[in-house]
């Protein structure tokens, strides 16, 4: 009898580990524990150029989203200070744009398929402020959305208790992205640091805030081709305005900064 009870308890414990924290859907959970890339932002000054490069300018139509900022690599907009990466959006006239900010990326420097990607971040606040921690496919032969996009954390500054996690691909991009929102209980994302991450395997992507698994997206959830089977690179940015958040208003205070305590990437030898 004791043996049967032990077996039953063991089976229950296994089942509990694969159930989402936010719903009743059974979900696969993996553990990626081998650290393969990290930036702890311990050295003041410019970000590590062996890891990070920059997008500069406005690209086409405000990076395709009607954004209002001009991205720079100036210390006014991006620097490492007191152990954190600081990305700052400013209200200023610069090269024809009314705002400046920064967008960092690891394209050509660090790219990986599968694993755990996470960052510990304190977010800014205000109408029209649009920070993000996300991934883009590194396939140079294809264009967006065929290359794929994984939004680990996307946030409207006017909704300080909510973030969203999404995937974009052919047939499910922009407003048709596969997405889910997470609401922080009894707190705001602009008042402290939180860990945003994904665990990504060939047949699913899990989305986390701190230790909460709030969504899983699988090939069966998307309405087109599953394109998340190739290396992706990391992006960190703070946009101003655009189709996702709208423009700043008279109550939006500048400057606004996103603080990044660290970025870490892990792999599983069985997958990477």
CA–CA separation, 158 and 170 (whole Å): 29
DSSP alpha helices (H): ranges in 129-177? none
Q: Map tokens 């159930």 to a residue.
A: 19
Name which of 239, 238, 233, 229 is nearest 260 in CA terms.
238
- For residue 213, how far is the Cα from the chain centroid? 15
Catalytic residue annotation: 149, 154
- Residue 144's Cβ-side half-sphere holds a number of Cα atoms within 13 Å equal to 13
Enter the tokens of residue 104. 């960092």
Sign for the pseudo-dihedral over CA of 201, 208, 232, 144: positive
């Amino acid at each position: 009898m004791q043996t049967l009870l032990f077996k039953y308890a063991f089976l229950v414990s296994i089942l509990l580990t694969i159930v989402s924290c936010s719903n009743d859907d059974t979900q696969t959970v993996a553990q990626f524990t081998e650290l393969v890339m990290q930036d702890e932002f311990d050295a003041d000054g410019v970000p590590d150029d062996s890891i990070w490069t920059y997008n500069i300018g406005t690209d086409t139509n405000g990076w395709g989203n009607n954004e209002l900022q001009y991205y720079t690599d100036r210390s006014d907009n991006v620097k490492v200070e007191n152990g954190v990466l600081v990305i700052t959006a400013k209200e200023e006239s610069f090269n024809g744009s009314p705002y400046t900010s920064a967008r960092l990326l690891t394209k050509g420097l660090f790219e990986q398929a599968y694993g755990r990607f996470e960052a510990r971040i304190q977010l800014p606040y205000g109408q029209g402020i649009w920070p993000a921690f996300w991934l883009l496919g590194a396939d140079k032969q294809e264009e967006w959305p065929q290359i794929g996009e994984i939004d680990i954390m996307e946030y409207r500054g006017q909704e300080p208790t909510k973030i969203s996690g999404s995937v974009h691909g052919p047939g499910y991009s922009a407003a048709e992205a596969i997405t889910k929102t997470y609401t922080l209980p009894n707190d705001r994302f602009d008042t402290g640091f939180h860990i945003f991450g994904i665990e990504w395997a060939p047949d699913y992507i899990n989305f986390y805030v701190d230790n909460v698994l709030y969504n899983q997206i699988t090939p069966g959830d998307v309405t087109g081709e599953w394109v998340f089977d190739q290396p992706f690179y990391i992006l960190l940015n703070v946009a101003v305005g655009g189709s996702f958040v709208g423009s700043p208003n008279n109550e939006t205070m500048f400057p606004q900064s996103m603080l990044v305590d660290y970025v870490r990437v892990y792999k599983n030898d069985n997958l990477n």
